[in-house]
Structure 1
Amino acid sequence: MKIVREKIALLGVLTALSVVLGLVVHIPLPASKGYFNLLEIGIYTTALLLGGPAGLFVGGISGLLLDLILGYPQWMPFSLLIHGLQGYLAGRIGYGQSQKRQVIGLCVASIVMVIGYFYANDLLYQWGAAIASLPGNISQTLCGTIGAIVMMRYLKKAKITEKSILKRKEK
């Protein structure tokens, strides 16, 4: 039971850190009525470190919270769904795998994010905004992919794994 509480607390901290990454760098993109941010670094690192369900939680909740905080409430349901699926796929494919497999997972997740926001833009603001969203979303997922790969390299070097984070202390 203790490990469950620790994992819930860890997911809360990782969600908060992901939101902070999005707040530190957020560049409005008027053509698509959205913004560029670094949220993917947090989502992808969580997914690769802790797996698909953790990526789902951190991706969905952090995306939704970031939209709320930055004043983009129209994007909240889309971010919950798209970033959640993005985190799940990155973790489902890449968790505990080789770096090559992790990169494949990140690429699949990135494609899902770009396509998801393309259709969300089309639904909210029409075809022109959907087209205008592509460069920003592709750049955002590329930065997230590179950032997560760098983070995972440092975490591996420091021998930080899911088990080391959640290790029970015996008395």
Structure 2
Amino acid sequence: MEGHSKNVTVGFKGTRGVIQIGIMAAITYVATFMFHIPSFMGVVHLGDCMVFLGAIVLGKKKGAISAAIGMSLFDILTGYTQWAPFTFIIKGLMAYIAASIAYRKSYKGENVWNNLLAFCIAGIFMIVAYYISGAVIARFLMVSTATLQQAFIIAIKDIPGNISQATAGIVIGLPLSISVKKALKRANLNL
């Protein structure tokens, strides 16, 4: 049994990576659940700040997985089940995009202006992706008699809420992610 005393590797740097993803997914879910307002076809929440935090603290892959799990778990447990598959993909890609830009070149997620750019681009992606998803849901799940053109018109109503959600995510997530990143660096914790 020699050599079995080390951590069991299950991807993402072993058990530690799985735990990091699980904790960030749970934090994302709780933040989304605690601060959400139902809208016509969906919900406006503060979970995006945790999506951005996970992207900066955990990086591309782990940040994307934690965002996808935490946010789609919220949809499943709060009655927005039809949104869960879309959310899983959109929020995962949102975190991946934010981390990809935040860690480009030699920035390492520590440059405020680069992180702002990353969050803005990821936020714009999220707004567009949910607009398209809203049209799909309106056409095929909510108003089956609507044409595709009518579905895209119906989906417009959620754009202001998604803009507010992305903006709140940036306003809260940017200083929070920088602070947490600095604290982890001072504590010599590399995630």
State whether TM-score is above 0.5. Answer: yes
Rg comparison, structure with higher value: 2
Quote the offset at 1:163 in angstroms.
Answer: 8.3
Percent identity, please.
27
Partner of residue 131 from structure 2, selected from 91, 94, 118: 118
TM-score (structure 2 length as normaliser):
0.80
Contact conserved, 1:18 with 1:39, CA < 8 A, in 2?
yes
Partner letter of residue 128 of structure 2? I
**SS state at 2:37 partner:** strand
- Cα distance between partner residues in 2 of 1:13 and 1:161: 19
Partner of residue 154 from structure 1, selected from 179, 182, 188: 179
Partner of residue 18 from structure 1, selected from 21, 25, 28: 28
Quote the offset at 1:166 in angstroms.
Answer: 4.8
Quote the offset at 1:57 in angstroms.
Answer: 0.3
Structure 1 residue 105 and structure 2 residue 118: aligned? Answer: yes
- Cα distance between partner residues in 1 of 2:86 and 2:187: 32
Contact conserved, 2:57 with 2:181, CA < 8 A, in 1?
no
Partner letter of residue 46 of structure 2? L
Aligned residue pair count? 164
Partner letter of residue 163 of structure 2? I
Match of 2:143 in 1: none
Match of 2:10 in 1: none
Structure 1 residue 141 and structure 2 residue 141: aligned? Answer: no
Structure 1 residue 165 and structure 2 residue 189: aligned? Answer: yes
Partner letter of residue 4 of structure 1? G
Structure 2 residue ranges without an equivalent (≥5): 1-5, 8-12, 139-150
Contact conserved, 2:127 with 2:162, CA < 8 A, in 1?
yes
Quote the offset at 1:156 in angstroms.
Answer: 4.3
Q: Over residues 60-95 of structure 1, what are the superposed CA-to-partner deviations in whole Å (9 max), with x where a residue is unaligned?
A: 111210100110110011001100100100111113
Quote the offset at 1:127 in angstroms.
Answer: 2.2
Partner of residue 57 from structure 2, selected from 29, 49, 54: 49
Partner letter of residue 114 of structure 1? I
**SS state at 1:160 partner:** helix
